[in-house]
Amino acid sequence: LSGLIRSSYKGSEDAVQAELFAASKRAAHLLRSRYTAVGFWRAGKEVFEAQVEAAEGETDWSTAAKEWLALAKAEVEADGETSSPAAPSGSPSRQPQAPSTFSDDGPTPRTQNAPTEGLGV
């Protein structure tokens, strides 16, 4: 996803940008609710870094991506501090966060007719 965002976001149609943002938003939600292992957070960090770079200048989307990136950095750093032989890096050492603690409301895509089919959004 990070490679796709880096290669396709800039210069693409609003609908494509909206889909890529929606995919990043979904990744953030899944990291908070299901896939809590640090390996997933590292991958998410790459996605959010790409989204921040791509959405530069788009205030709402950039702000949301920066928040997700901050969460990912915190999780990766926290794992570095709490890793032990009993809980090796990359193992699911943390419990999923309740979905209610994550605001999934983020900015609304610019295009009202942007297709969301297949994204699970």
pLDDT at 21: 93
pLDDT in tens, 1-59: 999 999 988 888 999 999 999 999 999 999 999 888 899 999 999 999 999 999 888 77
Q: Give the residue, 103 or 5, on which the prediction is more confident.
A: 5
Residue labelled with tokens 């991958």: 43
pLDDT in tens, 61-90: 889 999 999 999 999 998 776 554 334 444
Q: What share of the chain is helix, strand, coil (3-state, %, to 5)?
A: 60, 0, 40
Other Cβ atoms closer than 10 A to 79 = 21
- What is the secondary structure of 61-79 as a DSSP string? HHHHHHHHHHHHHHHHHHH
Distance CA 35, CA 53 (A): 24
pTM as predicted: 0.65
pLDDT at 11: 86
Residue among 89, 82, 68, 75 at smallest CA distance from 36: 75
CB 5 within 8 A of CB 18: no
pLDDT at 57: 80
pLDDT in tens, 106-117: 544 444 444 444
